[in-house]
Structure 1
């Protein structure tokens, strides 16, 4: 679940940065709308899309997965703090869920506020369009098919512009985009790019509505002055489509921008290789966790002589570096080590910290044998790391050709002073 969350947020960051670089200055507002909403769905689908078979069948990709497995090792961090071990993952998850709950409550309250306002307002008609009549000095806004405004605060020409603008929001169902962006912020609030993406979605919807008004023949300068005149009015809710949404400077600049040539739409095809790249990168980690399967796929093209050599290695008791099924710890190895490793007092006194890497053998029966330091930090930290590794319970042994074999395993332990 954590890996899915991480991949989703990284994908969203890369997609958004690519959008800002390539598409945020053109005038293809409908295309941009589809791209922005598509980014949400792509980010959600990429972590769960399995193309590991394709990666396995391409030696170059398989090599990258193998390198990932050997270099990016699962590290356990040990601190000098005494007392009960705190599971910081659970604490972080609890805080995260609390913020989600608060944001979801605020989101729900805004929905309720709009519904209550709709039930409170009288229904009127402006130029034959049904509207809900506001009594105060609030900004005109719409939510799905509901349009809210105070006709007494605007002249006839301004009412025409407001209605065209809000009818465009209603007709094109812009509230769906807004709600989707808001909900994404609720559940992925920790990612700052989610907030930037929400703002981009809202702004592009205003570009679409503004374009609809100007396409009807309304004077551009007069319409812009009208927007400026509503700058300091109150907005009822952020999840509604408000007639006057800041930053006005960007909207006015976009209104005065020359239309982008249609041929430039071709650049939207660049998203295809980007998405393909994200899919491959996402699956590299998945393949790396089963790197022996990659080796097994490559081994299908080997001769029968090589297969016989593997059997001889097994019979002779040779220690393998990579096997078809790698050894696995029977518990959560990181959690087990965090409970067992104690920061040596001598190391605390000398302010020693660093990353000790230990190599050891998992025997055919699962015992940890011959642990040795391959990256040292200090005698006291090295000694503690060796002590804990030597005291580990049995593992599930590695297997080659269906039989348990001895396998080398490397594990890092990070010591860090608070």
Structure 2
């Protein structure tokens, strides 16, 4: 919900800024009305529309999502006891909702005051239209098909102008726009641009009504003087269409403005690519956020800083390991020989020995040589799927047990978060690990070693079938006492 609100508010800021820059000065009031309502709809729909499937098919879009995730992930700090951020977020949402409730109560009170006024007022017929007669000094206004006016306070010419103005509001259903803008402002009150947009909606509706009055042959100068004469009258409620709505200066200026050339309507088409851009950016963020959320679910692993010597297994050296047979095997003991070889000794004769030479793709197991076939890169790799890959077991525990702090990093007091990107194949194998957020060569190498040595995962699924999926894993190295 928080991310939806953030995206909606950002979209609204961009759309409103574009509107003020491109359209606020023209005289296409009907087009502007449609554009303003469209801005609300686009702002609400963009965060919710999901086109991540299309983004996953585009190499460029996936690359952008990965770059975004690489920036987002290092900023996330997850520790075993962290929970303050969530508590703060929950508190903020409670406060937010409380303000929404207060504004909603205010809105309902205003709505009720208009309904109550309607039941209290007498009715009359003016120019063939039913009106509700005000007895106080409020200015004339309308709400849907209800027109409120005090005829005793106006001349005959003023009454005709007021009726023409208010009938334009009624016939064009301007109250729908006002209620929509009001409810939107209540729901997203924290964004100041929501209130600016609401004011812009109301002002444009007055432009439409004023334009209708002048189109009926009313002298513009006299009409403007009448508006100024009514400026001191108070309004009943902000959700109604008030005849003397401020700012009058802008309304008068717009009446005297030269009509915009029709060819300028073509610029409204620019909203289509702008909306498309917002949709793409929102979904790129969604894809990257999903990647980040997977990583955030993994608590920070602190490598134990023990003075363990890391054995060099570079090309030319051999490592001898023990593989467990179906029979019981006693715990092994590892020692380092003088010629840089590691030998594993078992207390049971039931152990089957296997020797792998680093640098050569040959492995000897059970006395028979076998070839280690290179893993083929999947033809299609997803970024986000319905069911993301999952580690079989406790990933946090596995990392803690298998990650060692490189002696070089200990010596140089290096620490930080290395982000490793890899592919979990449809068979669950970890493939093609690469560092996308580097700390130091020694820490990068250890992170790659840990990831490369992972057992098979539970593969991700798309449409119920196992597929290859990109995965990002943050491996955090932290020195004790640092």
TM-score for the superposition, normalised by structure 2: 0.64
Structure index of larger Rg: 2
Kindly tell me the number of residue pairs found equivalent between the two proteins: 346
Counterpart of 1:410 in structure 2 is: 474
Counterpart of 2:375 in structure 1 is: 310
Matches of 1:84 and 1:10, distance apart in 2: 26
Aligned residues of 1:76 and 1:412 also touching (Cα < 8 A)? no
Cα deviation code 1:48-87 (max 9, x no counterpart): 21222222222221211121122221644699xx998881
Matches of 2:35 and 2:233, distance apart in 1: 31
Q: SS where residue 374 of structure 2 aligns?
A: helix
Counterpart of 2:281 in structure 1 is: 281
Displacement of 1:311 in angstroms is 5.6
Counterpart of 2:264 in structure 1 is: 264
Tell me: higher relative CO, structure 1 or 2? Use CA pairs within 8 A at least 6 residues apart. 1
Counterpart of 2:148 in structure 1 is: 148
Describe the shift of the 1:74–1:153 C-alpha distance in structure 2 as closer, same or farther (beyond 3 A).
farther
Over aligned residues, Cα RMSD in angstroms?
4.0
User: Of Structure 1 and Structure 2, which has the larger fraction of its residues in strand?
Assistant: 2
Matches of 1:59 and 1:226, distance apart in 2: 63
Q: Structure 1 unaligned runs (5+)?
A: 293-307, 314-321, 334-354, 367-372, 377-395, 414-418
Cα deviation code 1:74-102 (max 9, x no counterpart): 644699xx998881011101100000000
Matches within 5 A, 1:111-126: 111-126=111-126
Cα deviation code 1:323-346 (max 9, x no counterpart): 995558999x9xxxxxxxxxxxxx
Structure 1 stretches of 4+ moved >3 Å: 74-79, 82-86, 289-292, 322-331, 355-366, 373-376, 396-405
Describe the shift of the 1:374–1:147 C-alpha distance in structure 2 as closer, same or farther (beyond 3 A).
same
Counterpart of 1:45 in structure 2 is: 45
Q: Which residue, 346, 357, 367 being the options, matches 2:417?
A: 357
TM-score for the superposition, normalised by structure 1: 0.73
Matches of 1:42 and 1:289, distance apart in 2: 21
Aligned residues of 2:140 and 2:243 also touching (Cα < 8 A)? yes
Q: Structure 1 residue 127 and structure 2 residue 127: aligned?
A: yes
Aligned residues of 1:141 and 1:148 also touching (Cα < 8 A)? yes
Describe the shift of the 1:197–1:356 C-alpha distance in structure 2 as closer, same or farther (beyond 3 A).
farther
Q: Structure 2 unaligned runs (5+)?
A: 293-372, 397-414, 431-436, 441-455, 478-482
Q: Structure 1 residue 165 and structure 2 residue 165: aligned?
A: yes
Cα deviation code 1:206-226 (max 9, x no counterpart): 000000000001010110011
Q: Structure 1 residue 250 and structure 2 residue 250: aligned?
A: yes
Describe the shift of the 1:137–1:58 C-alpha distance in structure 2 as closer, same or farther (beyond 3 A).
same
Aligned residues of 1:75 and 1:412 also touching (Cα < 8 A)? no
Matches of 2:246 and 2:153, distance apart in 1: 20
Counterpart of 1:88 in structure 2 is: 88
Describe the shift of the 1:143–1:101 C-alpha distance in structure 2 as closer, same or farther (beyond 3 A).
same
Q: Which is further off, 282-291 or 175-184?
A: 282-291
Q: SS where residue 73 of structure 1 aligns?
A: helix
